Amino acid sequence: MKLFKPLALCLALALIGCASEAPQPSLPSGVTYLGSNPAPQAEITIPYEKFQLENGLTVVLHQDRSDPLVHLDVTYHVGSAREELGKSGFAHFFEHMMFQGSQHVADEQHFQLVTESGGTLNGTTNSDRTNYFETVPANQLEKMLWLEADRMGFLLPAVTEQAFEVQRATVKNERGQRVDNQPYGRLNELVHQALYPQGHPYSWPVIGWMEELDNGSVDDLRAFFARWYGPNNATLTIGGDFDRQQVLEWVVKYFGPIPRGPAVEQAPKAPAQLSEDRYLTLEDKVHLPLIYLSFPTVYARHQDEAALDLLADILGGGQTSIFYKNLVKAGLAVQAGVSHPCRELSCEFTLYALANPAKMPKLADIETVIRQSIAEFEQRGVTEEDLLKAQVGHEAGTIFGLQSVRGKVTSLAYNQTFFGEPDLLQTDLERYRNVSADDVMRVFNTYLKGQHAVIMSVVPPGQTGLAAANPTFTAPEPIDPATLAHAQKVVPAVIQDTFDRSQVPPAGPAPQLKVPGLWTRTLGNGIEVVGTQSLETPTTEILIALEGGQRLTPANQAGLARLTAAMMDESTDSMTTEQMAQELEKLGSSISISASGYRTYVNVSTLTQNLDATLALLQERLFKPAFRPEDFERVKVQQLQGLQHQANDPAWLASTAWSQLLFGVDNPMGQPLSGTLETVSALTLEQVKGFYQQQFRGGNASVVAVSDIDERTLMSKLDWLANWQGQAAQWPKLVRMPSTKGPVIYLMDKPGAAQSVIKIGRRGLPFDALGEYFKAGLMNYPLGGAFNSRINLNLREDKGYTYGARSGFSGGPELGSFVAGASVRSDVTAESVKEFLGEMTGFAENGMTRQELDFMRASVTQSDALKFETPGQKARFLGKLQRYNLPDNFVAQQGALINTISLNELNQLARKELDLSRMIILVVGDKTTIEAPLIALGYEVKPLTL
């Protein structure tokens, strides 16, 4: 298949200007040159150079001077799979500990330095690796290398008993928020217990079993770090705008003295094996019963991996698949899908369906349909179009992943860590291109047909009769902690330096901000098109914004805008839903339509070589929707079932209740975008057709375009937009909104909730780019706008009450709000409310400090360097300019305002905007355990229901 060959060649040519320089004969002492691909020899490549220090640290450099930023990634080849049986969760725990300071970096200083540099940072852990990364303006790179080196070589002095306990509480909060308090949150960890025998590296969850983390000690943690976090088990990857020689000298300076850690060998591949089907049942607080089948397969980069990936896409990867046709299209399931997730040691072929309880609630019946679908696939086989769509989708996804430096660095780091070769793009393209229909059928017969699986049923409480079968698997008993030996104390190595590591490296000269150059055209019918050229990848992004959204609908028709948008993804006059999806898949393009509070958006993403064909499909979708009754009934049922599903999510309940409290149930802005069971049940197909006529008018439309082709060429392809007729729709008048006088606590009961959701705030200012709304955001930044803000440091880092707490202003064209909030441990709900109010009161009374003002100024102004890198970022920037009629230089005007606004003006704003007498408090949690402590705070507590 050669569909993408010209495209990939264009991509290689586009990237060659960003390629690394040829290897220099002179390298800093202690650096070994290991190879490069500076001039693209393949169709598609990421230019890089690879080096190694004497201590074993692998260094990969990728130069890209298109934006004044750098992305740095340190990947350690250690994840939960390296943990010992009975001592789970340590790898993930270090994701937290590595941000808590080191010998020369104070507690919270890592976040402070990165944030005030205008950068972003994070860390992630999976079963096979842990990575830490920062994206910062290019002049901050030396500082980032100093930070990463300090926690690689000097972390252990900061691993104290107190820090250990605080982060242990934070991890428990993370589990509560992301696992225990989420519908279906425990699915994967239970499936993996059944799929892998006890002791297999994948038999425990990445976050760990909390009882095992409780049994761990500081010495255990320190020993785990000493074993796995040495430079010889790490890859440092840097991409962006930097000087190669200078970077290598910095790397040697900061990382070179760190001693090599213990030798690390590759873990043996360990695909799962099942001798029988294993059935499990989980009772969870869900509305939609779920069935999940997991078949063991191979491991990452096995010769059959590519064919299995394509098999998953063909069998259940979209609206043209057998899975979709037999389950979702037939109305038996609200969602269904197939995937083939792969990890270093093992892969799994997974199939799932969320049952429609109104039509087929019993998962045994759903399992029958799934197995019939598998048999149907075997009978039908793989068609030429099946293979084409799957292969094109893979190649398009690869190219879109190269739009950011972070995407390229992540790819280089992943491939180097696991396979010893940073750039495997061309190899991967060939792997998937060379898969034949016979290959797909071969892996189907080998790994799926007649093979055993773990079959998981998730059912509502007390409804085990809906499960696919009685459980045939019992999870093994936890490891007795008394049988585990605790680690001996680890003495940190003495590292000899020729410089003072306690000194924070200075920033380099400020980089020149590259705000996208733009052009504006107004079509004959008044539609404005704003665009810019982006040459890094041969792709085009088009965003059509239609003013209106839910704002056009009365409150008793909440959900109509979203239902109409969903219907626009269905059949047209001349194409079925499946035919449209098939044509898009063959192009590697996407057209998505979504509704928001004030707008309906049409997003188009395509490879530029397929732009003409994609735009033809866009016109079909925009102007010729069929609105067939059978599509309407299915889509409406899916939206209703989704609402019943969301009713089990505390965060959704809190968001919905909050909108009603602030804006009122009689206002469209006080209703959820998805509507309510009452409003959506009453919606008709005629109302959808009416809303389409009201919303999809040329007078409502504005367009943003980002492409690698020039303005003239692109506009010639968009000239059909000039024929779009219709005047702008008028917004109805908003009804009177409720009072938010307080403080008063509204309590919504969520029985058995592991965490409570807290929201504190009021209605606020609409959006402006340079006025009081913008200034209020600056004021809030040290209070709750950054990770190391007062609120987050208090509730997360000092108290261990939550996984994260924030506050902020949000504003649209006519309404806005201020909200401070978090999900907190249920047992500290009242204490958390008290801390929130205390921080806000203290900030209002005393204001921010001079140090906080300097921090805000540095952080917000320097972060502009990161805002315009990808086509998507450019499109959002242009969209904001267009929507609010902003001057082209508003970013520079904001920068000048930030640097001149006085401490006194910001503190006056704090006193005005943080007045608690104008605020209300919402708590969603288990009433039986949290009501009495909330009443004890001394505020009026009112019950609330939706």
| Mean pLDDT across 813-839 | 96
Tell me, what's the pLDDT at 236? Answer: 98
C-alpha 177/C-alpha 432 separation (Å) is: 38
Residue 597 has pLDDT above 60, yes or no: yes
Q: How confident is the model at residue 765 (pLDDT cuts 50, 70, 90)?
A: very high
CATH topology of domain 278-404+418-466: Cytochrome Bc1 Complex; Chain A, domain 1 (3.30.830)
Q: What are phi and psi of 75, to 5 degrees?
A: -110, 120
- What is residue 296's three-state secondary structure? strand
C-alpha 842/C-alpha 111 separation (Å) is: 23
Contact 563, 636 (CB under 8 A): yes
Tell me, what's the pLDDT at 2? Answer: 33
Q: Please check whether the two domains, 278-404+418-466 and 519-723, share a CATH topology.
A: yes
Q: What is the pLDDT of residues 699-746, one digit of tens each?
A: 999 999 999 999 999 999 999 999 999 999 999 998 899 988 889 999
CA dihedral 880, 881, 882, 886 (to 10 degrees): 130
* Helix, strand, coil percentages, rounded to 5, for the chain: 45, 20, 35
CATH topology of domain 745-943: Cytochrome Bc1 Complex; Chain A, domain 1 (3.30.830)
Q: How confident is the model at residue 20 (pLDDT cuts 50, 70, 90)?
A: very low
Q: What is the pLDDT of residues 613-631, one digit of tens each?
A: 999 999 999 999 999 999 9
Residue 12 has pLDDT above 60, yes or no: no
Tell me, what's the pLDDT at 43? Answer: 80
Residue 17 has pLDDT above 80, yes or no: no
C-alpha 141/C-alpha 113 separation (Å) is: 12
Tell me, what's the pLDDT at 25? Answer: 55
Cα 586–588–589 angle (5° rounding)? Answer: 110
Tell me, what's the pLDDT at 223? Answer: 92
Tell me, what's the pLDDT at 1? Answer: 29
180: its two tokens: 């225990």
Tell me, what's the pLDDT at 206? Answer: 94
Q: How confident is the model at residue 180 (pLDDT cuts 50, 70, 90)?
A: confident
CATH architecture of 519-723: 2-Layer Sandwich (3.30)
Contact 363, 289 (CB under 8 A): yes
Q: What is the pLDDT of residues 191-224, one digit of tens each?
A: 999 999 999 999 999 999 989 888 888 898 899 9
CA dihedral (457, 460, 464, 465) positive or negative: negative
Q: What are phi and psi of 105, to 5 degrees?
A: -125, 120
| Mean pLDDT across 178-182 | 82
CATH architecture of 5-255: 2-Layer Sandwich (3.30)
Q: Where along the chain do its domains lie?
A: 5-255, 278-404+418-466, 519-723, 745-943
CB-count exposure of residue 265 (10 Å: 0-12, 13-18, 19+): exposed
Tell me, what's the pLDDT at 38? Answer: 67
Find how far residue 338's CA is from the centre of its chain. Answer: 20
Residue 18 has pLDDT above 60, yes or no: no
What percent of the chain stands above pLDDT 90?
Answer: 79
Residue 370 has pLDDT above 50, yes or no: yes
